[in-house]
Structure 1
Amino acid sequence: MPKSKLLIVIAILAMTLIGCSPKGTFILGDITEINEETGDMKIGIFGRATVSDADSPTAPYPFANRPDSRTIQVENPENYDEGEKVQVKIIKDYDDDVWDQDRLEFEVKKID
């Protein structure tokens, strides 16, 4: 394969991988309680992280009082069990500077 084609393939691959990097605010924890009727899931938090774009400010979101646990609402609580470790991506789809838990969305992934 000529060098020019190889360079193009590598450039496309690099751009694809850069576009797939996770961005957002995440919490890591163990599920301590699940209410299957309401969809509430209580998570004991053992880690927090904010990953941002290179162009955006690098200051992390200031979690108020850094709680040890957080209750979130999920669509399919029956898919999870108490004691499982999860990563929760916090999605804020509004422009206000205030983080209103009733307006936030959560993507939950099981981790090992």
Structure 2
Amino acid sequence: MWFVIKKTFSDRGIEMAQATIKKSTRNFWKDGREFLVSYELKTHESSGTSGYLIRAHLKEKSPEGKEKETGSCVELLYLYQEVSERIFNLIANAEEPVFPIHLPDIVRDEIFGALVKSVESYF
């Protein structure tokens, strides 16, 4: 199993075929601020290469009513759907919400951990 992780923050004007596999949304409050974080797992095909996208989108509303939005997207190439779904479920069901800024690091760490386990089980 080999893979490529690529952080993407826009679709860069490239036409991509996508289909949503899973979605999850969470609301939470902290320090008087309201947060809505949503996650999506999508299939992805671009230039003959297929893979998966995990997207995180965060809306923050302050007590004064000001809103901020941020997002992140990780592109998983050459990774099995089961592994992509397991990583998505880990993020979507985490005890504490995963902020978009942390998405690439969490995905990278989970894939690395899976690779180490597969090598250890081989020997």
TM-score computed with the length of structure 1 as normaliser: 0.27
Greater strand percent: which structure?
Answer: 2
Structure with greater Cα Rg: 1
Higher relative contact order (CA 8 A, sep 6+): 1
